[in-house]
């Protein structure tokens, strides 16, 4: 035991803790999936946004349990926790900045780029998935038709 470089005292929990965290992770995943199933075919935009927010919170909770308990970070010395967690706090800024940037780019394009705006309003006829070769002809035909439909609308 003389070889082991001082990780004895940082032992946490043991098998009972592993069991507990496994159950927590499974339950969180099941809730996530249940929310995901609930969202299928939902029309209410506000509720969808709320559910997505809830799923992201559950995701962060899962991340906390994996890093804290499975990766044992919660039982390490506070200095070590800080050197890992503090740099990762940059992500808060990255996420806000980049998503806001993407959002602003979309708004600008919708305002100043009529082609971009138009492209996102034209409905394409649903094509069969996995259609190769033989169906390609029919494809060209259907896209042609949808173009015609757009022209008629104008």
Partner 1 sequence: MATTTTATTTKLWGGGKSPFNVEYGKLMMWYFLMSDAFTFGAFLISYGTIRFSTNGWPDPNEVFKSFPFAPEGVNAPLVFVSIMTFILIISSVTMVLAVHAGHNMDKKGVVKNLIWTIIGGLAFLGCQAWEWTHLHHEGAWWGSNPFLNADGTASSTNFTNYFFTITGFHGFHVFSGVIINIVMLIMTLMDKFEQRGHYLMIEKAGLYWHFVDLVWVFVFTCFYLV
Query: What would the two tokens of residue 56 be?
Result: 């992201």
Which phi and psi angles does 134 have, rounded to 5°?
Answer: -55, -35
Closest CA to 145 of 129, 118, 122, 115: 122
44 near partner 1, rule: CB under 8 A:
no
Token pair 């780019």: residue: 105
7 near partner 1, rule: CB under 8 A:
yes
Residue 139 CB neighbour total at 10 angstroms:
14
Least distance from partner 1 to the Cβ atom of residue 8, Å: 9
Rounded-to-integer distance, Cα 75 and Cα 81, Å:
9
* CA distances, 2 to each of 8, 94, 96 (Å): 11, 44, 48
Query: Can you tell me which of 11, 45, 153, 154 binds partner 1, judged by CB under 8 A?
Result: 11
50 near partner 1, rule: CB under 8 A:
no
Least distance from partner 1 to the Cβ atom of residue 83, Å: 8
47 near partner 1, rule: CB under 8 A:
no
User: For binding to partner 1 (CB under 8 A), which residues are involved?
Assistant: 1-7, 10-11, 14-15, 18, 22, 25-26, 29, 32-33, 35-37, 40, 52, 55-56, 59, 62-63, 66-67, 70-72, 76-77, 79-80, 83-84, 87-88, 91, 94-95, 98-99, 101-103, 105-106, 109-110, 116-117, 119-124, 126-127, 129-132
């Amino acid at each position: 035991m003389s070889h082991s470089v001082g990780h004895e005292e940082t032992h946490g929990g043991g098998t009972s803790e592993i069991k507990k965290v496994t159950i927590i992770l499974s339950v969180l995943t099941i809730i996530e999936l249940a929310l995901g199933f609930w969202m299928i075919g939902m029309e209410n935009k506000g509720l969808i946004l709320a559910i997505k927010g809830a799923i992201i919170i559950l995701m962060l909770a899962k991340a906390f349990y994996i890093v804290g308990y499975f990766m044992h970070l919660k039982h390490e010395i506070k200095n070590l926790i800080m050197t890992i967690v503090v740099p990762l706090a940059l992500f808060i800024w990255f996420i806000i900045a980049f998503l806001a940037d993407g959002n602003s780019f979309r708004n600008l394009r919708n305002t100043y780029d009529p082609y971009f705006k138009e492209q996102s309003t034209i409905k394409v006829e649903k094509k069969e998935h996995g259609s190769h070769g033989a169906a390609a002809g029919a494809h060209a035909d259907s896209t042609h038709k949808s173009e015609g439909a757009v022209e008629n609308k104008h």
